[in-house]
Amino acid sequence: MHWTNAVAMLVMIGSGWGIYNDTVIFGGLHFSKHIKLGGWAAQSLLWHFAGMWLLALNGAAYRIYGIVTGRLRERLLPIRLRDLVQTVRDTLRFHIDHSDLTTYNAVQKVLYIVVILAGVSQVVTGLAIWKPVQFSGLTDLLGGFQAARLIHFGGMSVIVGFLVVHVALSLLVPQTLWAMLTGGPRLPARTPSSTGTRP
Ligand code: HEM
């Protein structure tokens, strides 16, 4: 699901930049033709609408699986302010502990929650600007078409910002990348007496 999401996100970001170029929101901001997907806006829209099914269905499967199995809560909660401050301090001193890849630190938890919510926000605001007539109630709730468009662009910026940090950190700790490709880190064999909740 992670790698499917990675592909879907790249398609949505690249094609979104192609759509944006057609009617820019910020005067000086255009995306280079080398990083956008689709030769012109109509092609970018086709990519966007194709990618949205992959993104939304994969995202729904991930969230349902995470909620039903309790994985999301187990991995991402609780978040304590004390842990957050400590992780930031450790990070600034380059003292982050990577020995247990199955447990996220407080900063990771916050970032993952933010990006999961940004993904949901993209689907909701995307629906509002895709079908502003059929979903007029939703579009109104978001402050109208232009406001929904702006929030949609903001969500993309949050996701791209997350991606830069996420990719940089995973390259700094390559064992995480390997674990994500092979289905998880190597764990010690379980003994009948072990009481851990993790498989
Ligand atoms: C189900 C999910 C999504 C739907 C239905 C959707 C729908 C749309 C639509 C209809 C537009 C065109 C707006 C216009 O006509 O001006 C658009 C633009 C755009 N989308 Fe999405 N989108 C979705 C997800 C995403 C995601 C995940 C990203 C990036 C992370 C993204 C990034 C963008 C960007 C950058 C634009 C151009 C902003 C603008 O100029 O309006 N979208 N999207």
pLDDT tens digits, one per residue of 135-175: 999 999 999 999 999 999 999 999 999 999 999 989 988 88
* pLDDT given for residue 196 in this prediction: 45
Distance from the CA of 181 to the center of ligand 1, in angstroms? 29
Helix (H, G, I), strand (E, B) or coil at 88: helix
Cα dihedral across residues 129, 131, 136, 138: positive or negative: negative
| Residue 30 predicted with pLDDT over 60 | yes
* pLDDT given for residue 190 in this prediction: 63
* pLDDT given for residue 98 in this prediction: 80
Q: Is the CB of 55 under 6 A from ligand 1?
A: yes
| Best of 11, 13, 19 for a ligand 1 pocket test (most atoms within 8 Å of beta carbon) | 19
Distance from the CA of 48 to the center of ligand 1, in angstroms? 7
Q: For the chain, where are the alpha helices, taking DSSP H only?
A: 2-22, 41-69, 71-76, 81-92, 106-130, 136-141, 145-172, 174-182
Q: Is the CB of 126 under 6 A from ligand 1?
A: yes
% the chain with pLDDT above 70:
94
* pLDDT given for residue 4 in this prediction: 98
